[in-house]
Structure 1
Amino acid sequence: MGKIYTKLFFAMLALSPAIVFSQVGNIGINTANPGSTMDISGSLAANYNFVNTNSYNLTSSDFHVSYNGISDAIFTLPPAISGIGNYKGRIYRIKNNTNFSITVNSTSPETINGNPSVIVSANQSLELISTGLTGPTSTWEILSKVTASNGITLSATDVKLGGTLLQATNIAMAGNNLSINGTGKVLMGTNTVPLGASNAKVVIDNGTTNGALQIKDGTQQLGYVLTSDTNGLATWSSTVTTAFANNWTPYTGILINPFTGGTGASGLNTGIQVTIPAKGWYFFRCGVAINSDCNDYFFYINGIGDVWRSYCGSNTAAFMFPRDQNRVLYFATPGTYTVFGGKTNGIIPASFNAGNPSFYLDFVKFQN
């Protein structure tokens, strides 16, 4: 008997243009125990509309509308109805299957989420629901809108990396690393790998405009160049000391005679050091008076080189010559370096540092 009543209900529904049906409880289709006002155990179909024209007014018979035109389009929503005929809860789904845009307009003064219109971009979709309100209010609400912008692109339902940035974009690292791995390259200003960059990981092509790269770490100064340490860590540093003659730095410490031993040796204590402020090439000058017969005497920095050396020049006691000498030395690492002394045999000088002027050693940086 229940099945007969159900069939009679749907027959009346089909034959009547409008039916108001009031009942207490739920209606189930293919289910004996409906849990909702209408509980359908099976598929549900709604109208599918295929539109090619670039101007279309949505109607009460529309549900899903697909646009496949050849230009930008304008869709207009129906005006809201107050009282009898109000279609609160009506849903429209609009799918743009083209590379053009659809402008969906509400009927003035009505709005869509407070706006008079909304754009459905190429290959995107929009779902709207009527709020049942009239006037300058949100007559329509956006249920869902699939978009892809600001650096990403939507192709059908596939959101892909790559597109145009529409606004300033910041990525907050929050203590995390951002890694780019693999065999590819990061190209800026070009999408073509230029000649000579086959092994490069980062390529910046600024055309003929100066200033393609800016690195600020607190060491930058006018005229400085970017230089690397042994680990590849780069800092800004000067290539040339311009006021060369006015930048000499003297040794530190108190000189003692390192040549008092009766055997030849190196690594002898001189009591002096030099403090190198930065890596680079340094010009050294040094002078000392040593009165001795045939022997080789020298001052040096371990691992760097000599700062002064005198070779045997006489079989009788004489002052070493030349007394004043110049050296060019390279320091890869800044720091304080000890100056050592050495000699090639056990001869003890008859006098040490008895010249006028007395011992001097100073240096200046001239190039990285």
Structure 2
Amino acid sequence: MKSKITLLLINCFLCSQAQVGINTNTPGSTFEVNGSFATPYKQITTAAYSVSGSDQYLDYRGTSTAAWSLPAAQTSPNFKGRIYEIRNESGFNIVLTPNGTEKIDISNTQVSQSNFALPSGYYAVVKSTGNTTGSTWVVTLFSNGLASNSGSTGSGNTNGFSSAVLGYTPVNASLRTVPATFNGASVTELGCKKWTGAGSNGHTYCAYQLGAGTTFYNTFSLAKQIGGYIVTLPSTAERTWVYNNILAAAPNGYNLNNSIWIGYNKVAYPGNSNEFTWITGENWFIDWTTSPNSTPQGFFNAGEPNNSGGTEGSCQILSTANNSSRQWNDLAGSATTSAGANFDQVVLEFNQD
């Protein structure tokens, strides 16, 4: 009976004036609630889910990449303006797909997309446009607020980052564009995670499975096309986090056991000998306690880098089969395999949300 009376009062207000207030006689807006406000909350653990008309705030806590479908647009009644809030607290992507041939606008440069990947640790507001064809949904992406350090101004491991050294400006992780194929090989995004908490850099790291092994140079081009860059690991803290959360076996990581390129390459400086450099221009974090010389926080296998054959100008994370600790090794950037392990798994880094 109470709900019926409330609805009756609201209808009376609508009949008598343009502005409606609850717990206020002088509403300052078209609709004003002077008190608490509640909407449905639902925690989801299943990977496959169809977002319904009764949903509003969805919190994903599953253990694998999720495939969620959005409701089909309706002509009558049209639910233009309907809002879904989606929080991804899993370690995997949520892939949101509109119904049928409907599309979703992600940004001013990514309109009419077939789906939208919400990375781990992010929150999105999805809103109906009222259209029944074309872009029926738009999305606004936020980080979860656990860390705000990102880009070249953040703390953590962004010391010395330079887009001038990299040769291009990476896009926000939310604006990445993943091709279905690259150089004839399939490209599958396995998931993305953001490094948060004390000592982190706030960067997002995405894992990819390719249909064939690829050279360092082609991997660099793929990274540029997607919008990130080949992962750089200038500190023990960053390497440890990437190994534990990206390379590791599921559910902690994405089972990346093959050879993996890192963004550490030789540069032939005019008038000087070749020198290994992070592709982002980042500086090594230094261990000042080692003797007789202080050393960068690298993770090279014993005796590496050794420039065997005189052509080893790139670096890799060794495969699990070849080195259980996943130490690093230098080799020619033209390689597509290393000791029988394909370079068909890629880790990209994004220094902004």
Give the TM-score, by structure 2 length: 0.44
**Higher RCO structure, 1 or 2 (CA under 8 Å, sep 6+):** 2
Q: Going by fraction, where is helix more abundant, 1 or 2?
A: 2
Q: Going by fraction, where is strand more abundant, 1 or 2?
A: 1
**Larger Cα Rg: Structure 1 or Structure 2?**
1
Give the TM-score, by structure 1 length: 0.42
